[in-house]
Amino acid sequence: MPVLEVRNLKVRYAATGPQILKGVEFAVDDSDFCAVIGPSGAGKSTLIRCINRLVEPSEGEIILFGQHVCRLAGGDLRRLRRRIGMIFQEFNLVNRMSVMDNVLSGRLGYTGAWRSLFKAFPREDIERALHLLERVGLQDHVDKRADELSGGQRQRVGIARALMQQPEILLLDEPTSALDPKISRSVMALIKELAEEFKVPVLCNIHDVQLALESCNRIIGMQDGYKKFDGPSRDMRKEDLDAIYAMEVL
Amino acid sequence: MSTATAPMPDRGFDAWLAHGRSRRFKNRAILVLSLAVLAWCFHDTVMFDTDWTRMGGALGVVGTLERFLWLDWSLAPSLVVPALETLMMATLGTLLGCVLSLPVAWFGAANVTPSRYVFYPLGRFLMVLSRSIHEIIWALLFVGAVGLGALPGILAVAMRSIGFISKITAEAIENIDPKPVEAIRAVGGNQFQVMYYGIVPQILPVIIGTIIFEWDINIRRSAIMGLVGAGGLGLVFFRQMAMFNYGGVTLVVLAVLVLIAFGEVVSHYARKAVI
């Protein structure tokens, strides 16, 4: 069962600017851990950001949980976004807020104005946040400020924040690019473990081909705005990789 | 010889000499012209505009200044209440200014303004308006509007504070890191939550520092509000001057000095605490 279907997706940032995505089509299954690989400038980040409309597609359709994402606006869009967890390359935490507040902010889509104003989250949210922080191994850093943590720890906060939403799909935008190779692998393993535990499908941009082949069951290869490969990671051959990375776009 | 500004027009020694001569002549002409303008200003404002007979020679000047040195300590007890009033005027004026600055900063920050063509120019205009009108003029307007007392002073101080606080705040908003903002949008946060969770924590230290600084400045402003009838130490100053009690005038000036030194010390430690 596909949770996400993308049809003929095209993106141009400015009316006269270059086309970043040139008609991409694919579907993500509810059991997929799907990697999007490709050289810099291929449109991987743009693709991921279209799905929760942080970037506006200029043409095409995105169907997520049976809803046409591009036709939503205002409150409907926000209600859809809270079902999508996102983990970012540079963690995107609020540095001056505590780890706990950062994790709780994942719940904002479900929190009313007065509760947000006084940061008075319901008891079950706080319990869930504490539980998730324990799951990602940060139980001793709950009240620290986010900027006191190391890179790997910060990304764990990002993971906990995304899971706070009880997401039905996870979008990962280069979740390990800002980390060293060893930490990258442990963070990726943690995401995989949690995604399986909570039964969340994952769509993941990733630079590191080796890591993608190790941790994902499916690969989408992008090059210069086109999809060049789509299939199970075990079917990926060296020729396919060479084709994807044949042309570097700067 | 510097040829960077004016390249040598011709070859040979004579040409070089002629070129130097013409440049020296030009420089001298500019100097003479400047001195002439200066002399004209001095003549019209100082020579012509001053009541020389009333000044009465060098001894007269010293004698008049000397009258300010005999402090009138009997005035001291009656300065306590106006001094406190000045402090309160500064504090309330700053707080009111902060509240009024919120919408102005929101309108005037290019990345969060509700409308780039209506509210952004409006916000920027309000910032300029607040700063381009002197606090004494604001006070005169409010004394006319709400009558004598501390209230017009508070309003004047608040109006004058908007410009600085909202400008610094708007600039801080424009310089934030957009990444946490993107994250709050991605979890489904609304406009208010994006600002409160994504933007406010980032700009808070700048804003608090600015508010403390503005409070420090507002003590100075409040101290002169009384000159136009808006309460505080300025009013005592004005009365002492009107009674030709020069010793009292000096004492008021000293009181202002103490108050400002107090504000300086408090704001120094307060700012250290937040940064």
CATH number, domain with residue A84: 3.40.50.300
Residue A209 token pair: 């081909």
**Does the CB of A227 have a partner CB in chain B at under 8 Å?**
no
Measured between CB atoms, which of B182, B192, B193 is closest to A92?
A: B182
Phi, psi at A74, each rounded to 5°: 50, -125
Nearest-CA neighbor of A38 among A243, A176, A184, A215?
A243
Confidence grade of residue A119 (pLDDT, cut at 50, 70, 90): confident
Total domains present in chain A: 1
Query: Which residues sit opposite A232 in a β-bridge?
Result: A218
Q: Answer yes or no: is A134 within a domain.
A: yes
Q: Tell me which residue has tokens 């009024």.
A: B100
Question: How does DSSP classify residue A37?
Answer: E
Residue-number span of the structural domain to which A95 is assigned: 30-44+77-219+226-244
Residue of B171, B170, B169, B152 whose CA lies nearest to B160:
B152
Q: What is the mean pLDDT of residues A185-193?
A: 90
Residue A199 falls in which region: left (phi positive, over 0), alpha (psi -120 to 50) or beta: left
Asked if pLDDT for residue A249 goes beyond 70, the answer is no
Tell the residue number behind the tokens 């957009």, with chain if given: B178
Task: Taking residues A193-221, report their average pLDDT.
Answer: 88
Round to whole Å and give the CA distance between B259 and B219: 8
User: How are beta strands A59-64 and A33-37 bridged, if at all?
Assistant: unpaired
Say what the pLDDT of residue B127 is: 93
The answer to whether residue A238 is domain-embedded is: yes
Flag if B187 and A161 touch (Cβ within 8 Å).
yes
* Strands A169-173, A84-87: pairing kind: parallel
The span from the CA of B82 to the CA of B86, in Å, is 6
- Residue A125 is encoded by which pair of tokens? 């949210």
User: Cα–Cα distance between A25 and B40 in angstroms, integer?
Assistant: 81
Amino acid letter for position B234: G
Please report, for chain B, the start and end positions of each structural domain, with discontinuous segments joined by +.
13-66, 74-274
**Chain A nearest C-alpha distance from B215 (Å):** 25
Task: Specify the DSSP element, H or E, that contains A114.
Answer: helix A113-117
Q: Is the pLDDT of residue B147 over 90?
A: no
Assess if residue A20 is contained within a domain. Answer: no
**Centroid of chain to Cα B209:** 17
Average pLDDT of the segment spanning A50-63: 88
Task: Report how far residue A170's alpha carbon sits from residue A168's, in angstroms, rounded to the nearest whole number.
Answer: 7
Query: What's the average model confidence in pLDDT over B162-166?
Result: 93
**Residue A146: inside a domain, yes or no?**
yes
In a domain, A158, yes or no: yes
Greater confidence, A150 or B30?
B30
In a domain, A50, yes or no: no
Measure the CA–CA gap between B107 and A12, rounded to whole angstroms: 29
A49 part of a folded domain: no
Residue (of A232, A82, A41) closest to B187 by Cα position: A82
CATH 1.10.3720.10 fits B74-274, yes or no: yes
| Over residues B96-114, mean pLDDT | 92
Within 10 angstroms of residue B176's Cβ, the number of other Cβ atoms is 19
Q: Is residue B191 within 8 angstroms of chain A, CB to CB?
A: no
SS3 A62: strand
Which residues face A170 on adjacent strands?
Answer: A85, A202
Chain B hits for A165, Cβ within 8 Å: 187-188
pLDDT of residue B51: 80
Sheet holding A218-223, edge to edge: A84-87, A169-173, A202-205, A33-37, A218-223, A226-232
Say what the pLDDT of residue B8 is. 56
* pLDDT score for B275: 64
A95 and B179 within 8 Å at the Cβ level: the answer is: no
pTM: 0.76
pLDDT in tens, B44-77: 888 888 887 777 777 778 887 888 888 888 888 8
A46, A87, A103, A108: best mutation site toward chain B, by most B Cβ within 10 Å? Answer: A108
Share of chain A above pLDDT 70, in %: 98
**A248 pLDDT above the threshold of 80:** no
Q: What is the pLDDT of residue B191?
A: 87
Task: Enumerate residues 42 to 61 of chain B having a beta carbon within 8 A of any beta carbon in chain A.
Answer: none
According to the model, what pLDDT value does residue A250 have?
45
Is residue A159 in a domain?
yes
Q: Cα torsion for A16, A19, A24, A29, to the nearest 10°?
A: -90
Q: Which residue bears the tokens 């095409």?
A: A60
Over residues B141-151, the mean pLDDT reads: 89
Q: Which residue of B has its CA nearest to A112?
A: B193
Query: Contact, B129 vs B166, CB < 8 A?
Result: no
Q: Do A92 and B196 touch (CB under 8 A)?
A: no
* Region of A119 on the Ramachandran plot (φ > 0 left; ψ -120 to 50 alpha; else beta): left
Which tens digits make up the pLDDT trace of B229-268?
888 888 888 888 888 888 889 999 999 899 889 888 988 8
Identify all chain A residues contacting B182, using CB atoms and an 8 Å cutoff. 54, 88, 92
Q: What is the DSSP letter of A245?
A: T
Of residues B33 and A32, more confidently modeled: B33
Chain B, nearest residue to A76 by Cα: B188
The rounded radius of gyration (Å) of the Cα atoms in chain A is: 18
Contact list in A for residue B187 (CB cut-off 8 A) is: 81-82, 86, 105-109, 161, 165
- CA–CA–CA angle A175, A178, A179 (5° rounding): 90
The alpha-carbon radius of gyration of chain B (Å, integer) is 28
Strand order in the sheet with A67-68: A19-29, A2-12, A59-64, A67-68
The partner residue sitting opposite B180, judged by closest CB among A78, A82, A94, is A94
Q: Nearest 5 degrees, angle CA B101-CA B102-CA B104?
A: 60
In chain B, where does DSSP find H-type helix?
13-42, 52-55, 57-66, 80-108, 119-132, 135-146, 150-174, 178-186, 191-193, 200-225, 233-242, 246-274
> Exposure of A143 by Cβ count < 10 A (0-12 exposed, 13-18 middle, 19+ buried)?
exposed
B191-200 residue pLDDT tens: 889 989 999 9
Query: pLDDT at position A86, please?
Result: 92
Contact B189 A161 (CB under 8 A): no
Chain B, nearest residue to A117 by Cα: B196
